[in-house]
Structure 1
Amino acid sequence: MRLLCDEMLVGLARWLRAAGYDAATPVPGDDDRRLIARAAVEERLFLTRDRPIARHKAAAGLVVVLEAAALDAQAQELRRRLAVDWLAAPFSRCLLCNVVLQAAAPQAVARAPEPARAGGGPFCSCPSCGRLYWPGSHARRMRARLERWAAAE
């Protein structure tokens, strides 16, 4: 499933990426018609909380209007409405660039803090921005939240 989140849902897009989904975000200031057209061209569902967007003629079948305001509630709404699996492919995409991560080269791993290197990895990096990922405390906290969302009824 390929998604496009509007400006209000950029934080949700990062969590969708953490779960392994291709979740694009708009250029700030893009208008509704351009976002709907982009969703159509890129074969994405457009996620928004803005009800008027769904009334655009071109939006039929492309726009999903989320009712929930809080992140945890949005996660459950997506699980219920779109069958989002919050453990689909954890930490397989860059949280910033939305690019599929690759195994980190030794020189990239050398940039990691010593405690992280001592943990043994696995280490991944983003081929676009170079960001390094490893299973540290931040990733463990995020993984726990993804697991909580996946287990919720």
Structure 2
Amino acid sequence: MRRGPLMLPQPRHAEKGFVLPLAIGTSLVLLLGSASVHSLALHSHLRARSSWQDQERQDQLRSAAMAFLGQTNTPAQRCLMEWPLAQWPSQAAHCGANDASKLNQGQAGSHRWELLDWQPSAQGAELQLRLGGSESVSSLSLSRAPDGFQLRDGLQAVQP
């Protein structure tokens, strides 16, 4: 008995080529999954950076407010602090201040600031500042202390 070469049975036509679509489908699922993970990581990074920038800006504004308060260390300037900003020019002679405009701007570290408004009250004061190079205005609340004013917690953005 003579045997011929060993022949494997031919697969049916419907079963041909199922590995390639399965590999492509799996690759697409993995690609979409990794893109989603990358997108989430990028979004998280951007949120953290935005939060850091907000905190840095708040620190700069607090430094500017402290610099402003530091400029009010003479009796004449302390006298002006009892009046709203709009009344400083008329009260400067009464308080003995040579130049009330010295309090209108200054430098805190490497950042310039500009005083936009000062509104004292019996409990404290509201201070509005703008940092140099910025269009945004921020309002800070101050409370009265025995030796002048001090910053309260909180910072509020004001529309220009």
TM-score, structure 2 length as denominator? Answer: 0.20
CA radius of gyration, larger in: 2
Structure showing the higher strand proportion among its residues: 2
TM-score, structure 1 length as denominator? Answer: 0.21
Structure showing the higher helix proportion among its residues: 2
